Structures are given as C-alpha cells and as structure tokens.
Amino acid sequence: MTLTIADTRDLRAENGVVSSSSAGPRSDQPRRRAFTSEYKLAMVAEYDRAAPGERGALLRREGLYHSHIIEWRKARDAGMLVARPAAEQPQARQGKQNEQAASRRRRRGQSAEQAELERLRRQNEKLAKDLARTQAALDIMGKAHALLELLCESEEPTCEQGPST
C-alpha cells in the first residue's frame, strides 16, 4: 500500500515517524466478508429449497450473489465445505440434528468420492494428452536427426586442394 503525505498527516508523531496503528486514514474502508461453513451450508440449502421466484429475494436479503451459491455448492459437493462436528455445537440442538447431520455426511461422502473420481479422470486425460504430444515431438526429432545424418553421409568431402606446382 502506498501512503501519500496527505495520508500520513494524522499518523505522524512529534518525532516524524509514521505509526502503524489500525486507526489509520483508511481503516473505515469496507473489509472483505468472511462466511462460516455453517452459514454457507444453510444458504445453499435455503436457496435450493426456495421457489425460483424467491431465490433472488433470498440473495438480495442476504447481500449475496448467485456465484456465491454456485461456488459453495461445488465446495459442498466436493466435501470441502462441512459443518462443525456435533461436539462443537450447542447442546440444546444436538438431539435431532445428530441424525440429520450423519445422513448428510454419508451423502457428502459419496459425492466427495465422486468428485475425487472425476478429478482423477480429468487428470488422467490431461496426462494422456501430454504423453501423446511428447511422443509426437520425439518422433519428429528422431526423423529430423535421421534426415540430417543422411545429408551428412551423402555429402562428399569438398576439401579443395590448392594448385600443385
């Protein structure tokens, strides 16, 4: 971050040294929001339950974008987005939620395996393409080398000797 003289006016102490306090001239600017896993899972579930006409209202109410839901859904399906373990949840809600959470974890586990399988398939396809490209390049290099050898062998020595006297 670059500070101008105008930015440092209020930060200068009597000795002219700029302090690094958090109450600087730009401390009132917005900060990036951070969402908990529970919130993300709840919003994705609520979005999925909502009727098509109500989804936009949900996003506006929460100040979210459709891309948030898409990314969170992908993370959930890949198993990267999980709620806190039941031991960390408040005791009042644990009874019925434990059964629901266990069934969600089982479903997520299957989808996480499917996502991992799909990732490995894509990686395998990419590596197969890379291998084919490398083999083609090696074939071309081998043919070029053979051609150069043929040219060198067929060329007669052209060492001209000077006139003999």
Interval 48-57: pLDDT, tens: 999 988 899 9
pLDDT given for residue 93 in this prediction: 47
Helix 66-77 with 37-49: angle, nearest 10 deg: 110
Average pLDDT over the chain reads 76
pLDDT tens, 70-80? 999 999 888 88
Tokens of residue 35, six digits: 């969402």
- For the chain, the farthest-separated pair of C-alpha atoms sits apart, in whole angstroms, at 116
Q: Check residue 107 and give its pLDDT.
A: 54
Question: What are the E-state strand segments in 32-164?
Answer: none
- pLDDT of 52: 86
Tell me, rounded to whole angstroms, the distance of Cα 93 from its chain centroid: 34
pLDDT tens readout for residues 89-144: 554 445 455 555 555 555 555 677 888 888 899 999 999 999 999 999 999 999 99
Query: Over the chain, what HEC string results?
Result: CCCCHHHHCCCECCCCCECCCCCCCCCCCCCCCCCCHHHHHHHHHHHHHCCCCCHHHHHHHHCCCHHHHHHHHHHHHCCCCCCCCHHHCCHHHHHHHHHHHHHHHHHHHHHHHHHHHHHHHHHHHHHHHHHHHHHHHHHHHHHHHHHHHHHHHHCCCCCCCCCCC
